[in-house]
Amino acid sequence: MSSSEELYKKLHQQNVRHRQDQNAWNELLKEKEGLLAETRSITNFRQYYTRWIKTEEGKAVKAKLFTTQNGQCFKCRGTLLGKGEDGSAIEHSEVHHLAPLALLQKYADAHPEVELSELQVFVTTELYLRLVHPKCNKQLGEMVGNLPDLNFLHDFIQEIR
């Protein structure tokens, strides 16, 4: 094969991969837009999250959290490994929201001027999610995470107290 043929082949492969990525991305965007439209009509972050975590993106983020946290619970630092048949322990953990969903919901209801899409980032962005044991998740409950981005929720708690 001449080098120009090789180059052509390489470019073609890259092109195919790029197109596949593009298609996957478009699919994801469509899926997200649908979910977001639904969220806007019912203003329900919990439902939005439950749907999202089942999407490819949701699963990928959960898997990434598991790796980032070295398979340890964010609260008790205990191992999140369970006895999954396929060796995956991810299903034995829950996602804790540093911006608790119920509180976020209250905030959205109290601030109709705030765009839901601005709050939606706290529901599905890795930065604001942590993996924990189900029992640890219950203990954390409505605790707001210690991130400067979440100060608006700390303030909100003071307001509604």
Nearer to Zn ion, 45 or 62 (CB): 62
Question: In the window 28-67, what residues touch Zn ion (CB under 5 A)?
Answer: none
Whole-angstrom distance, CA of residue 142 vs CA of residue 140: 6
Q: CB count, 10 Å around CB of 52?
A: 21
Contact 52, 34 (CB under 8 A): no
Whole-angstrom distance, CA of residue 25 vs CA of residue 29: 6
Number of residues in contact with Zn ion under rule CB under 5 A: 6
Q: Which two three-digit tokens encode residue 79?
A: 């191992």
Q: Is residue 24 within the footprint of Zn ion (CB under 5 A)? A: no
Piece of the chain touching Zn ion by CB under 5 A; list 77-85, 90-98, 110-118, 153-161 = 77-85
Q: Which two three-digit tokens encode residue 45?
A: 């972050």
Q: Is residue 73 within the footprint of Zn ion (CB under 5 A)? A: yes
Nearer to Zn ion, 34 or 78 (CB): 78
Residues that bind Zn ion (CB under 5 A): 73, 75-76, 78, 133, 136
